Amino acid sequence: MAHRLSLREAAENIRQRKLSSVELVQALHTRIRKIEPKLEAFLHDDFDLAVKQAAQRDAQPADGPLHGVPVAIKDNISSAGRPCTCASMMLKDYVAPYDATVIRKLETAGAVVFGRLNMDEFAMGSSTENSAFQKTKNPWDLARIPGGSSGGAAAAVAADECFGALGSDTGGSIRQPAAFCGCVGLKPTYGRVSRFGLVAFASSLDQIGPVTKTAYDSALLLNAISGVDPMDSSSLPQPVPDYTKYLGRDIKGLKLGLPKEYFIEGLDPRVKQVIDQAIRHFGSLGAKLVEISLPQTPHAVATYYVIATAEASSNLARYDGVRYGLRTEKPGDVLDMYFRTRAEGFGPEVKRRIILGTYVLSSGYYDAYYLRAQKVRTLIRRDFEKAFTQCDAILTPTSPTVAFKFGEKTDDPLQMYLADIYTIAVNLAGICGISVPCGFVEKPARLPVGLQILGPAFGEPIILQVAHAYEQSTPWHLEKPNL
């Protein structure tokens, strides 16, 4: 049953020599072989490589905080010698030639990098249905999606196929699947974690973060991967505290904001009922609940899909069949090579976003769309800055619904985009947020609900403190899907 351990428990077992790193890797591999045919969370498991690395860890003193603990990686984060496909035909044969900064930091902390997790192609999606290779299932109901784009990471963590994982969050891609799968997902402040080695989607929004079983595990992983990096000019030289030191502190007297714009029509009544119960629980813990306003919230989705698609259009221009990735066979000329390579390599959703992004950046439309969206983004950030003068953290639903069935929203991209309505403003503002399990909707299936806790820029200590206090006084993080 070693696969059921939390990241913290796995690290303690190794430190106390109750388990070896090799035993942990083998326990996970046994678990993966048993349930992966049903779940399909991993694109590659790297088992042989992981065993070798684990054996090296076992031969060394246990000095790092994650010494010998296997951590799985979303397939858009470069790890030298391993595939990095971004779940796209464009990069199906690509092998990363270097390590992302977060990979180096994990290994410095003693972790064993283990496996490559499925995702929406180039991180563009909210359901992991856009993967070119397979459809990851939700471990609570295999007929439903796990969320996206880090759906493989959330499903693998929830199903005990890994002790923790790294995902990426551009508009909710860590928090939303964590909510749908009943685990913890943390999106750090923009600039807190280096993006060097993360395959770019929207560079001003992307951020790497942990997907874990508990808030404490998120703090452990965040400790390991945070900090300024000379290879990423957007990473910020803020000191990195030990986030675990903030856990266990009383939240009595903390002011928790409830944005009135987040509790309106469109929120599933069943989800609202669970969220309301969680909010009342915070009151019983002694927190002060205050109503706040984030008036620009109705404009967040439109703003996000202008800025994100514009940056995606620019970033994905590099996949042209010349330097790396797919190249179409026997092109007639260079233009034919460009057209056919991109037509064959990209899936429908990626093409849709490239076209949208190219349009909003085009001559005559730049000012009307992209420039205006950047101005609204500033207003959204100011909303949060004002709100945090009135409260210490903000409580919201992570998603307006529970996990939906496969195919339910694929024919209606707008409905799919609205699945991220509560998460995207966080990326636009550059602040931090965490999703924690807060209960279940019981019908038509028993499905997890996520509570989102938002903090100001570099407010990770406060959101982890609040998340941990809630988690330790409720049973939801202990619930396991029946696989």
Cite the active site residues: 74, 149, 173
Residue 67 near residue 57, CB atoms below 8 Å? yes
Q: Please give the angle made by the CA atoms of 194, 322 and 331, to the nearest 5 degrees.
A: 145
Residue 215 near residue 223, CB atoms below 8 Å? no
Q: How many residues does the chain have?
A: 483
Only one residue has tokens 């399990």, namely 437
DSSP-assigned states of every residue in 357-402: HHHHHSTTTIIIIIIHHHHHHHHHHHHHHHHTTT-SEEEEES-SS-
Nearest residue to 126 (alpha-carbon basis) of 326, 387, 418, 333: 418
- CA 441 → CA 154, 238, 268, 286, 444, distances in Å? 18, 40, 10, 26, 8
Residue 145 near residue 191, CB atoms below 8 Å? no
Residue 227 near residue 240, CB atoms below 8 Å? yes
DSSP H or E run through 27: helix 21-39
Q: Give the pair of three-digit tokens for residue 299.
A: 């404009």
**DSSP category for residue 428:** H
- Distance, in Å, from the CA atom of 106 to the CA atom of 101, rounded to the nearest integer, reads 9
